[in-house]
């Protein structure tokens, strides 16, 4: 029965890859990644971590919590990794800036991080540096939150930029939140402009970012959302359970009790995970940006260039890939 289950899971994964653009089966070894996240504030980080864990193209080497109460965020990561059966992945606790708990606190209420069976590294910045520097080939850094950890890591060891590819969720180039026709300060930049300036200006091996122009459009609705909502997969169920607890804490969700049964919130960070795998579904433009003190990312040819995913070739294709990947049984490891 175990062999049959494994063959079924593999067939499902391959079918997604064949049918859906941008999700080619991993003919090469999985891409090793470090995930740096402010998980717990917006629920999209939780969806993004689950997506990374359920993507056979990726090999998560380290998850580092960033911004604010990083110890609290580590509890969320630890619980997700336990549910996923991935306590082999170490957790790094990043620079702690406050004791404030996140809107996802109810999901880890009473959770004791000391009982986590995997490794918890108290100096997450050093863990990131050590993981990057020890790699024989460049790793991919998936950065989906305000990045004070990364500013600190670059200051501690500037050579990490030459050991990492960046796939980030940052900025607003041509459109703002809710597809507004003009750019505006995006949270991951606005929360710490100095850190964002350091991140976006570093000489990474390669760099790509999804601004609000693309990631701000991603939302699962209708049958696609229902597949994830009703999935029996433990990790998909954990994501939805966390979402059900998180959503009523948001003013827009509290006004509509049926929201959580019908659709997801905007899943910004899932696009950065996708870009670590492929760019097939997006159009990119290469430009440097100047980060203002107000958190604007202003195109500036004098700044270090990186690729920005500013348009979708196939948003529906991405959302189909996302729903299928999240709803499916996890592949055995």
DSSP 8-state class, residue 249: G
**151 in Cβ contact with 127 (< 8 Å):** no
Residue of 62, 66, 6 lying closest to 37 (CA atoms): 66
Q: What is the C-alpha to C-alpha distance for residues 131 and 282, in angstroms, rounded to an integer? A: 30
pLDDT for res 26: 47
Buried b (16+ CB within 10 A) or exposed e, 76-90: bbbbbbbbbebeebb
Please give the average per-residue pLDDT across 283-288, as a whole number. Answer: 98
Torsion sign, CA atoms 224, 228, 232, 233: positive
Residue of 36, 44, 80 lying closest to 330 (CA atoms): 80
Secondary structure percentages of the chain, helix, strand, coil, to 5: 45, 15, 40
Q: What is the C-alpha to C-alpha distance for residues 175 and 206, in angstroms, rounded to an integer? A: 24
* Residue-wise pLDDT tens digits, 121-166: 999 999 999 999 999 999 999 999 999 999 999 999 999 999 999 9
**34 in Cβ contact with 128 (< 8 Å):** yes
Residue ranges and CATH numbers for the domains of the chain are: 31-171+180-327 (3.90.245.10)
Q: Which two tokens stand for residue 216?
A: 């701000």
Residue owning tokens 């433990």: 234
pLDDT for res 302: 95
pLDDT for res 7: 39
* Residue-wise pLDDT tens digits, 29-70: 999 999 999 999 999 999 999 999 999 999 999 999 999 999
**213 in Cβ contact with 173 (< 8 Å):** yes
6 pLDDT above the threshold of 70: no
What end-to-end distance do the CA atoms of the chain give, in Å?
A: 16
Name the pairing type of β-strands 297-299 and 289-291: antiparallel
Residue of 291, 21, 329, 293 lying closest to 168 (CA atoms): 291
Tell me the pLDDT band of 330, cut-offs 50, 70 and 90: confident
């Amino acid at each position: 029965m175990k062999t049959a289950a494994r063959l079924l899971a593999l067939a499902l994964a391959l079918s997604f890859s064949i049918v859906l653009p941008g999700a080619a089966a991993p003919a090469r070894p999985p891409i090793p990644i470090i995930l740096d996240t402010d998980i717990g504030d917006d629920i999209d980080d939780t969806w993004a971590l689950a997506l990374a864990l359920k993507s056979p193209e990726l090999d998560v080497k380290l998850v580092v919590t960033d911004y604010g109460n990083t110890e609290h965020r580590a509890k969320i990561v630890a619980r997700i990794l336990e549910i996923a059966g991935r306590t082999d992945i170490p957790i790094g606790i990043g620079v702690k800036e406050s004791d404030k708990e996140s809107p996802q606190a109810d999901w880890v209420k009473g959770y004791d991080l000391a009982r986590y069976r995997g490794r918890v590294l108290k100096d997450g910045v050093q863990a990131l540096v050590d993981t990057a520097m020890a790699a024989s080939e460049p790793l991919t850094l998936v950065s989906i939150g305000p990045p004070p950890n990364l500013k600190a890591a670059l200051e501690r060891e500037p050579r990490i930029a030459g050991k990492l590819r960046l796939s980030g969720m940052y900025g607003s180039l041509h459109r703002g939140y809710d597809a507004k026709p003009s750019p505006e300060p995006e949270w991951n930049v606005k929360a710490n402009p100095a850190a964002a300036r350091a991140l976006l200006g570093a000489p990474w091996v390669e760099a790509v970012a999804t601004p609000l122009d693309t990631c701000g459009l991603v939302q699962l609705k209708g049958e696609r959302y229902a597949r994830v909502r009703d999935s029996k997969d433990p990790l998909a169920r954990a994501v939805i359970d966390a979402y059900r607890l998180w959503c009523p804490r948001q003013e827009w969700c509290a006004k509509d009790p049926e929201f959580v049964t019908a659709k997801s919130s905007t899943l910004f960070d899932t696009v950065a995970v996708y870009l670590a795998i492929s760019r097939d579904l997006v159009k990119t433009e290469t430009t440097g940006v100047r980060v203002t003190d107000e958190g604007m990312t202003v195109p500036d040819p004098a700044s270090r260039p990186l690729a920005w995913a500013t348009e979708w070739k196939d948003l529906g294709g991405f959302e189909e890939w996302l729903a299928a990947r999240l709803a499916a049984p996890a592949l055995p490891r």
